[in-house]
Amino acid sequence: MTNELTSKRSRPIEKGTPALGDDVIRKYLAMLPGWERKGNAIAKTFTFKNYHETMAFVNATAWVSHREDHHPDMEVGYNKVTMRYSTHSVGGLSENDFICAAKVNELLDGPRPA
């Protein structure tokens, strides 16, 4: 089963759309184990056994980004990846950031019960 976020798709942001408010951000973060708010972004660091696993994860997240047309900032090291989502056009966070973060979590954890 998928949760509320993974069942959605990212959508184009219309001009003038405001960033999400704190209440919605807290609600969505509660659905995303390991993610935390960092200013106008959400971030999570993923760790792996080796470089091969790290790069496999990066490539899998590239597929999510392509499919959702919403792309994170990433810092990639030998055995870890720090991923940050924000929506520059709203100057903060949009639902798209949380949708993509949920789909990235699902890559490693599998579908979560609703």
- Between CA 108 and CA 92 the distance in angstroms is 26
pLDDT tens across 82-100, in order? 999 999 999 999 999 999 9
Contact partners, residue 63, CB within 8 Å, separation at least 6? none
Look up residue 59 and give its two tokens.
């490539």
pLDDT higher than threshold 60 for residue 81: yes
Residue 12 lies in a domain: no
What pLDDT was estimated at residue 18? 96
Residue 54 lies in a domain: yes
pTM for the full predicted model: 0.91
Residue 94 lies in a domain: yes
What pLDDT was estimated at residue 111? 56
Residue 13 lies in a domain: no
Pairing verdict, β 80-85 and 41-47: antiparallel
pLDDT higher than threshold 60 for residue 112: no
Q: How many domains does the chain have?
A: 1
Write the CATH number for 79: 3.30.1360.20
Domain span at residue 55 reads: 36-109
pLDDT tens across 22-64, in order? 999 999 999 999 999 999 999 999 999 999 999 999 999 999 9
Residue 5 lies in a domain: no
Residue 57 lies in a domain: yes
